[in-house]
Amino acid sequence: MREWRHLFKLDPDRDIDDAALDAVCRSGTDAVVVGGSTGVTYDNTTELLARIRRYEVPCVLELSSADAAVPGFDAYLVPIVLNAGSAEWIAGRQAEAIAAYGSMIPWDLAVGEGYIILNGESTAAKLTEARAEIGERNVLAYARLADRLMRLPVVYLEYSGRFGDMRLVERVRADLRGARLFYGGGIASAEQARQAAAAAHTVIVGNAIYERFDDALATVAAVKGTPVPE
């Protein structure tokens, strides 16, 4: 996972036909992440996993709901929304899931993500009541909390539908000591993908798959062709 540069994110609650899925899985992306903010169920997650499993690309589940905890993924990303307005998105839901399924959790495949949501208009922000309108000082504080105190392997700057402030993304990445910086949000062209790849360790492309498919595919080469930032 520490070598991944480009990820496609597929939403089980959105339609993707077989031809498009084939192109995504054969695109050269490092992995496919399955997840979404709403409408994610056990059944639609299982269905999408079965379709992706026809390919060799690694497949990862981002767990937004314990109800959609489907076995058979290569890894499980567990979001901890650091700037959530409600504590249930910081530790509440995670603790409930562990209480219910603790004996069945493949701990060696579970990866915590320190989420910082920075687009207040996004579904994710509204769902978690995230305090998204925060300045650089507070963004860095949350990132350091995840990196230095919580020792999470991933810090995720999530702009969810809006292309973010790459200067801030770069500032956060340069400040991390151990965590890998994931960036997601608003990437709809190869040029935006290059900018994100120059600022973050790992770039995630999601909405463009459903809205600008050819441009989404072009982001793979754009990211892979950009030197890894130190």
Residue 229, in any domain of the structure: no
* pLDDT tens per residue across span 163-215: 999 999 999 999 999 999 999 999 999 999 999 999 999 999 999 999 999 99
Residue from 158, 212, 162, 152 nearest 182 by CA: 158
Q: Torsion angle, CA of 147/148/151/154, rounded to 10 degrees?
A: 10
Residue 230, in any domain of the structure: no
Residue 27, in any domain of the structure: yes
> Both ends of the chain: CA-CA distance in Å?
17
3-class SS of residue 75: strand
Helix (H) or strand (E) holding 32: strand 31-34
Residue 187, in any domain of the structure: yes
Residue 70, in any domain of the structure: yes
Q: How many domains does the chain have?
A: 1
Residue 127, in any domain of the structure: yes
**CATH number for position 135:** 3.20.20.390
* pLDDT tens per residue across span 30-82: 999 999 878 889 999 999 999 999 999 999 999 877 777 888 999 999 899 99
Number of DSSP helices (H) and strands (E) in the chain, helices first: 9, 8
Beta-bridged to residue 59, according to DSSP, are 32
Task: Show the DSSP H helices in the chain as ranges.
Answer: 18-25, 42-52, 92-101, 123-128, 136-144, 166-175, 190-199, 207-211, 213-224
**Residue 144 is part of which domain span?**
6-224
Whether 147 and 112 have beta carbons less than 8 Å apart is answered as no
* pLDDT tens per residue across span 122-150: 988 898 899 999 999 999 999 999 999 99
Q: Quickly state the pLDDT bin for 225 (edges 50, 70, 90).
A: very high
User: What CA–CA distance (Å, rounded) separates 133 from 117?
Assistant: 9
User: Which tokens is 91 given?
Assistant: 């530790």
- Tell the residue number behind the tokens 């994110």, with chain if given: 9
